[in-house]
Chain A
């Protein structure tokens, strides 16, 4: 532990600080949006959106390296692809009459396939593993600013429309009868989810990011009585998992993303067991 704290303070080694900052910033958005995703029961759809992000990353890298658009950071591509996938998948799940899961799975895999093809055609160090499973070695100060900006945007929208999101998560039809534009909010929620994925691409990677979105929220849901409390607890849990995961991966020399997600999974299992035991005692 001491060596982790030492490394955090090391002026010649900013990566660990960047990773911690990115993780803590992202935790705020993850805790809040994750609670909506869990209570609205759209984890599967959120997972589809997150995987499509690879297509955008690949396109971004390709445009930057091969086409020569120097400004085109892969994270910009990720943002574009994430939003496009969120809108497409949102509209399909709203309006497709049948087999929506088939269509969504197809978009999920098409997004990944496009990403892998772009990465293959991009010369240099574009290694798919880096984006699929995250690697904090690639974090830059520029990424951090982007993450902070997106984080603020997500949190303002997600909390500003709290009552409306709560209403559509609880009873969408009633909300619509009260004049709430439920379809718009649903697509907006998917867009916020998509942007969350972008926040943590560098640290956790797109394959595992959904676990960090849903597990802290699911844990928090067992402990709380109101949605805002659930969000608060989920944010704190997420921060704990990210910090502990970073420390553990540094000390044990393991990849960061999988350690963070494993910790979240263990935490969730413990909470679920504790919840069962408590229920049995009450009953």
Chain B
């Protein structure tokens, strides 16, 4: 079943109380696809991610992740949250954090949360994948925004996921850090499906094959079709399209 979709969302609607956030959403993501979800803040991107993780349940419709209901696929999904609301003085090293990605179920050792040599090796490999090996013993609080983001990606990678979900991986990252991150994601997509969320459309253009535009409704575009008109429809305001194909939002929906 090599071609079974990794993500299969079918007619999903979701509302917080009476306020609809997503309506009639349907799309699929295949194995080894690198895909970006874009849309204005408040458009429902993060809600969609939380639905895919099984942290929220759809009001209507059906979601399958790796062929299962989302909450039963979690251990095979690597997730990087937008930010971690941690105590700024939290005494924890990069390696400590990455190891958290090895927590799981099964056996007494796992039940107690004890790590073994294989866990440590996997954590170091994950740090290596995001070029963070030199900072393994550094305290999280002393890392830069981009370095922290990469540590959190390593934590998501550490459990050997088949699907990587990254919520705003380029928030708090400078331009250099961003291009580095893109290289890493490109490399990772050879081994697993990667879905990134971004309000930053510049990120999209030359990296991914398809873009999932989320603004209450969802429209999937091949990147080659991303025109000024598409963004105008998405963000509801005139967008500035830069000559060399890079697209920069300038509307009120951008944040």
Contact = CB atoms under 8 A, between A and B. Distances in A.
B91 A178 contact: no
Contacts of B159: 178
Nearest to A230: B91
Contact of A175 (B77, B93, B100): B100
Contacts of A162: 113
B19 interface: no
B92 A226 contact: yes
Contact of A221 (B81, B89, B101): B89
Contacts of A179: 74-75, 103-105
A171 B113 contact: no
A226 B138 CA distance: 10
A177 B91 contact: no
Contacts of B218: none
A229 interface: yes
Interface string A178-204: 111000000000000000000000000
Q: Which of B74, B81, B100 has the most CB of A within 10 A?
A: B100
Contacts of B81: 171, 173-174
Interface in A136-178: 160-164, 166-167, 169-171, 173-175, 177-178
Given A163-B114, A170-B84, A177 B53 contact: yes
B79 A174 contact: yes
Contact of A171 (B100, B105, B115): B100
Given A178-B103, A178-B159, A180-B113, A166 B96 contact: yes
Nearest to A176: B55
Interface residues of B, number: 30
A171 B87 CA distance: 10
A152 to B, nearest CB: 17
Contact of B101 (A169, A170, A178): A178
B99 interface: yes
A225 interface: yes
A282 to B, nearest CB: 10
B112 interface: yes
A164 B90 contact: no
A249 interface: no
A92 B103 CA distance: 27
Chain A interface helix/strand/loop/mixed:
helix
Interface in B71-130: 74-75, 77, 79, 81, 84, 86-87, 89-93, 96-97, 99-101, 103-105, 112-115
A228 to B, nearest CB: 9
A174 B100 contact: yes
A150 B89 CA distance: 30
B55 A174 contact: no
Contact of A227 (B92, B103, B112, B114): B92
A225 B79 CA distance: 25
Contacts of A160: 112
Contacts of A178: 74-75, 100-101, 103-104, 159
B220 to A, nearest CB: 26
A221 B91 contact: yes
Contacts of A167: 100, 103, 113
B115 A225 contact: no
Given A170-B86, A174-B79, A163 B91 contact: no
A248 to B, nearest CB: 30
Interface in A219-242: 221-222, 224-227, 229-230
Closest 3 CB pairs of A and B: A164-B113, A163-B113, A178-B103
23 contacts: A39-B91, A41-B87, A163-B103, A163-B115, A164-B112, A167-B100, A167-B113, A170-B97, A171-B81, A173-B55, A174-B155, A175-B103, A177-B74, A177-B79, A178-B100, A178-B101, A179-B74, A179-B104, A224-B91, A226-B91, A226-B92, A227-B91, A227-B96
Interface of B: 53, 55, 74-75, 77, 79, 81, 84, 86-87, 89-93, 96-97, 99-101, 103-105, 112-115, 139, 155, 159
Interface of A: 39, 41, 160-164, 166-167, 169-171, 173-175, 177-180, 221-222, 224-227, 229-230
